[in-house]
Amino acid sequence: MLRRLKTLAAAICVGGIATASGVAQAQDARQAIAGDSVIEQIKARGSLIVGLSTFVPWAMLDQNGDLIGYEIDVATKLAEDMGVEVEFVPTAWDGIIPALIAGRFDVIISGMSVTPQRNLTVNFTDPYAFSGLRIAVARTHEGTIDSLEDMNRPDFTFALRRGATPVPFTQATFPDARIIQFDEDGASLQEVLNGNADATIASEPSPSRYVAEYPDQLYFPIDDLFSVTAEAFAVRKGDPDALNFFNNWIAINWRNGYLEERHDYWFRSQEWTELLPN
């Protein structure tokens, strides 16, 4: 009996040593992951490097050639709260995710919608903004459009930005309508103003700005947002500390009203348009 108790005690002792060793190894692994986090790199460097693409009103150049916009406000406040400087790296949209993965910047803050395809390559934070599409129609159709179906006909033409979100939305919603595509939103708008297209679709606040600027030529027959999406920061995979920090920052700034206030300024008002080049 005594021999069995000694054997059991020895086994418990060995098990305890193994458990302690496992805990120590796990703690070392956690510390190594934390040390590799981009958050630690930002703190050591003293600056937050943000990748973005210029897109009104997310990020754009003002009359002095300086970047302004919702993203700029968000990223600047984020850096201030981290106690570091902020540096922006304008990047072509089709190369922005590869540039993040290559380490050209710490995080993408550029109105990037969360999609399963993108999530295969990067990790997304909680949303810090929401946006949607709106349809601006030539006033020549006023009084004739009461529903989406009224625009789904072969003699109705949509002018859209090539490769942008409105294209698949229009193809699915208005399969019988005609679509012409341009490289810039401005060219799509001009096509409607010139009478060569009946409507254009873009993400807010661009449509509201168009109608405010050309009230005699454009209007909203349907005052709804379509294809509402959530926008989030994108970070490299394998960095739980970065996700934790950014998610907490977003949550705090939703609760204190900062994100909503800045979003309303850039997406619901037109005050900032006077800052743009003529």
Kindly report the three-state secondary structure assignment for every residue of 32-69.
Answer: HHHHHCHHHHHHHHCEEEEEECCECCCEEECCCCCEEC
In a domain, residue 1? The reply is no
This prediction has a pTM of 0.70
Query: For residue 32, what pLDDT is reported?
Result: 45
78 assigned to some structural domain: yes
**Per-residue pLDDT at 1:** 58
Would you write out the chain's pLDDT as a tens digit for each of its 278 residues? 555 555 555 555 555 555 545 544 444 444 444 568 999 999 999 999 999 998 888 999 999 999 999 999 999 999 999 999 999 999 998 899 999 999 999 999 999 989 899 999 999 999 999 888 999 999 999 999 999 999 999 999 999 988 778 999 999 999 999 999 998 888 999 999 999 999 999 988 889 889 989 999 999 999 888 988 899 999 999 999 999 999 999 999 999 999 999 998 998 888 898 999 98
Same domain, 206 and 255: no
Same domain, 125 and 235: yes
Tell me, yes or no, whether 156 lies in a domain: yes
What is the CB neighbour count within 10 angstroms for residue 139?
14
| 25 falls within a domain | no
pLDDT at 13: 56
Are 118 and 234 within 8 A, CB to CB?
yes
Residue 83 placed within a domain: yes
What is the count of structural domains for the chain?
2
Both 186 and 109 in one domain: the answer is no
Cβ atoms within 10 Å of 234's Cβ, excluding its own: 23
3-state secondary structure of 125: strand
The answer on 69 and 195 residing in a single domain is no
> Residue 117: CB partners within 8 Å, gap ≥ 6?
none
Q: What is the CATH number of the domain that holds 51?
A: 3.40.190.10
Structure tokens at 143: 């009084």
Same domain, 223 and 148: yes
**Structural domain boundaries enclosing 205:** 132-227
Q: Determine the pLDDT at residue 163.
A: 77
DSSP code of residue 143: T
**44 plus 127 within the same structural domain:** yes
Contact of 111 with 129, CB cutoff 8 Å: yes
